Amino acid sequence: MAGTFIDFLKIQKNISRILSNKYPAMFLIFLLLVTLNTLLVLKFPGISNADVRPQIVLICLAGFYYGPVYGFLTGFIGNMCSDMLIGHGFEYLSSWSVGNGLMGMIMGFSRQRSVLKLHKISQLLELTLFLIFANVAFVTYSSIIYNLNHGSLTLDANLKYYFLPVLNSNILASLLLFPLFLLLLGRLKINFPIKIALSNFYMIAFFLQVAWFVNKTTFDVSGFIFNSNMDIGEGNLIVEAFNVWSMMLILFLLTSFFISIFISEKITRPIVELDRNVHELLQSDIQSPDSFDKLTRRDDEVGLLSYTIRLLSEKLWDSQARFINDFTKRMTFISTEDTITDIYEVGLVSIFGKKFDFSNYEVRGAAGHADISHIEAIEMLIKLADLEELAYTYDASKMNSLFHDVIKDEAILSDVQLQYLAVAVDLGLVFKGKIRFLDMHSSLTRDFAYHLLFKTTLFVNNKKKFIGYVTEPDIISRLEEKWNSAGMVPNPDIEKVMNDLIRKKIISGYHIKMAEEVANFDHHLKITYTHDNFKHVKQLVGLIISENIQAKINIEKKHSTFIYYTEWDITENLSIEPINDKIFLASRVESDIVFEFASPDKKDHFRAVTNNFAKKEYNRSKNILFQSWYEPLINSDVPLNSYNRINEITIQHGSYTILTFVAEETLTKALNNLSEFYEKSMIRSRSVWVNDDFYLYLKRDWKER
């Protein structure tokens, strides 16, 4: 089925390409018209000498496509040449030849010529009425002139056996064949209303045709096909029956459009409205979820489907809105005067760390001011992502399979552009559904630019490792999955060295992490919160959500060893070793829960909330989260009000990252001792800011030991 559809699209494109070249197309139409007029001779039986000419639709087609002048020339010259080949000479030049030209000329004045794709039933109805009017004008003029010159029949006989049969047969041929040509040439948009209109239209024609043959069981078609010498009286009866049947069919065909409009309005209107809302959603309208409100109130299947789509769209736009907010805050140097192409380029540089080379690129060139198109934006993305060679591996069959149901007929893309687009879709850099509703050659829009940057950020992850946003519905399950994963790999050699440094009173504790798990969050928006119990973390995330605090979240598993005082509670997962009668050497597997907040004020809000609900206090009872600590470790990479500056020493030792916190007074001593053991490793120190509880812990340990 997919292959048949692709073949049909190819036929449409080839025919459209031929028709776009006016003079060769006119020649082909003219040649086909003359050939059919000469070879396909179907005459009405009885006293009439009139022909049935379904090929008359070609004249209508020429006028509709190329305008009144070319429509007239096609009808006039085509009929004149046909008459000469048949042997009539110029006998019908002033009547039927001019009449044929008149019909083509009238079709050239149709308002629907300017419509690239007919998509409304009313447009089909108007075009149908225009076809009828053009045929009436053609036959009326031609028959009057002909009968003035050659008339031998009475007015009544001429009307019954000449004028009406010719008019009705021409109208039927035009009405039944013209929509098929429009469909073949891609001038009809096959949406719900058009499908209903064409279905009703041809279904009525089919059943009335069947009714004709059932009723006229003795009908001898040889009178038409072979022009046999049947009895004139019998032939006249057939023509009279044809007049009644054809006028009834024309009336029913016209009525079918009104029936289709009624069905479309009353039955398919909610589906069309749903389709329009989804269209808006795929066009990146950030307010699009609100458009589903009316439909979600319905009690039928459309209402249920609308509700489901709205939920999905809200989730989609919530993620993209967060990205746009983060991006805007990072790119503070972007001004209102920058074009969307400028912003898109800056965004790609921030993601890939390199700029696209426009030196041999026609769109921007040296000036660098012109806007790029949607397909050119995708090309930039594929090249910067180092996926160009992958794109070239896509062959025609793979691309046909991918795009047969989404690429618009008029979207003419080169093979290379289709390859870039195919890779972008397959790797999730472009949502496939957007392609159907997007003009790939128009200038890059703001919404699509942000869509590309958002998808690219997810693909590259911008070197940030995070599990998700705290407000995502499934964030708890994803955090738990990461919490229960293998994570930290023990290293006894590192632990032995660092434990000796604690016993020698050089450091108070240390943490060992796998380097690959570090989140690399924005220092200005980041806070690290340490804990060893997932139940506490789950409640912490719930607390953050209830306080409307938005943040990215990641878990960095670590092995921690530190000084532990006798008055503290000893938890189940804590391994302890006495150092003296006051302190223990304690170790456990715990995690840094790392947050990147949407804004500095959210970061401050988080600190206030955790101080109130996630911290034990001596001699005071209050409602706090499960297993909250007396002296929790909360640290920031930048200064915070009421936080205290200490020093963080980081040792990059193979695939391990070793961290220890020291007071400023002990920094030099700690660095000197660590350098002796890790002289071949990278050792760095920097200032960090911690909460009062952890700061007092460091100061106490330094004094008491």
Q: Retrieve residue 624's tokens.
A: 């706090």
Higher per-residue confidence, 614 vs 266: 614
Q: 433 is in which domain, residue-wise?
A: 340-463
pLDDT exceeds 90 at position 26: no
Write down the pLDDT at residue 209.
78
Write down the pLDDT at residue 404.
74
Write down the pLDDT at residue 365.
42
Q: For the chain, how many structural domains are there in total?
A: 4
Residues 489 and 443 reside in one and the same domain: no
Question: How many Cβ atoms sit within 10 Å of the Cβ of residue 457?
Answer: 17
Write down the pLDDT at residue 679.
81
Residues 442 and 532 reside in one and the same domain: no
Q: Which segment of 43-47, 248-252, 497-501 scores lowest on mean pLDDT?
A: 43-47
pLDDT exceeds 70 at position 611: yes
Residues 505 and 419 reside in one and the same domain: no
Write down the pLDDT at residue 20.
63
Write down the pLDDT at residue 280.
62
Comparing C-alpha atoms, which of 87, 88, 58 is closest to residue 75? 58
Residues 542 and 401 reside in one and the same domain: no
Q: What does the pLDDT average to over 457-484?
A: 79
Cβ–Cβ < 8 Å for 512, 656: yes
Is 648 a member of any domain?
A: yes
State whether residue 520 is helix, strand or coil: coil
Q: Retrieve residue 571's tokens.
A: 């938890």
628-662 confidence digits (pLDDT tens): 888 788 888 888 888 899 999 999 888 888 999 99
Q: Retrieve residue 593's tokens.
A: 């829960």
Residues 16 and 72 reside in one and the same domain: yes
Residues 320 and 349 reside in one and the same domain: no
Spatial distance between the Cα atoms of 134 and 131, rounded to a whole number of angstroms: 5
Is 469 a member of any domain?
A: no
Residues 553 and 648 reside in one and the same domain: yes
Write down the pLDDT at residue 391.
82
Spatial distance between the Cα atoms of 703 and 530, rounded to a whole number of angstroms: 24
Is 599 a member of any domain?
A: yes
CA dihedral 409, 415, 417, 418 (to 10 degrees): 60
Residues 130 and 260 reside in one and the same domain: yes
Write down the pLDDT at residue 430.
82
Q: Retrieve residue 563's tokens.
A: 């000084």
Is 494 a member of any domain?
A: yes
Write down the pLDDT at residue 367.
45
Higher per-residue confidence, 293 vs 238: 238
405-428 confidence digits (pLDDT tens): 677 554 578 888 888 888 888 877
Phi, psi for 268 (deg, rounded to 5): -95, -5
Spatial distance between the Cα atoms of 566 and 570, rounded to a whole number of angstroms: 9
